[in-house]
Structure 1
Amino acid sequence: MNALNAILEPGMLVTHPDQPDWGTGQVQSNIGDRITVNFREEGKVVIDGSRITLLPFFEAPD
């Protein structure tokens, strides 16, 4: 697992770099190289963290 994926914890928001149409997703679990994310437009997806680096998403303050 790469360093960026290693810091992902349940509840964090992420985006998939190759699937912007999936929208923002919430990390459900991060075990080994398997990251389960519930994306707004795609639903629940299990990501292979050794192949894809998810990007943390931070909402702009009001």
Structure 2
Amino acid sequence: MKRVTDDAFHSFLEPGQWVRHPDHPEWGDGQVQSAISHRVTVNFLHMGKVVLDARVVTLVVI
């Protein structure tokens, strides 16, 4: 049986894409800075830089 590791997860997000957090619309639009494995760094207009776990939250691409 093959063991699944964190490295097996790959986010579809790419640097430069614009997104919104579905649970925090007050953060405004955000631009993806990096997406490595499940860690996605986004710079939101009203919240600043946030590192998110893409396994937990599904960002909305705009």
Shorter-chain TM range is 0.7 to 0.9
TM-score (norm 1): 0.82
Relative contact order, CA 8 A, sep 6+: which one is greater? 1
TM-score (norm 2): 0.82
Shift of 1:7: 1.9
- Percent of residue pairs identical: 54
RMSD after superposition: 1.2
Which ranges of 4 or more aligned residues in structure 1 deviate by more than 2 Å?
none
Q: 2:41 aligns with which of 33, 36, 43?
A: 36
Larger radius of gyration: 2
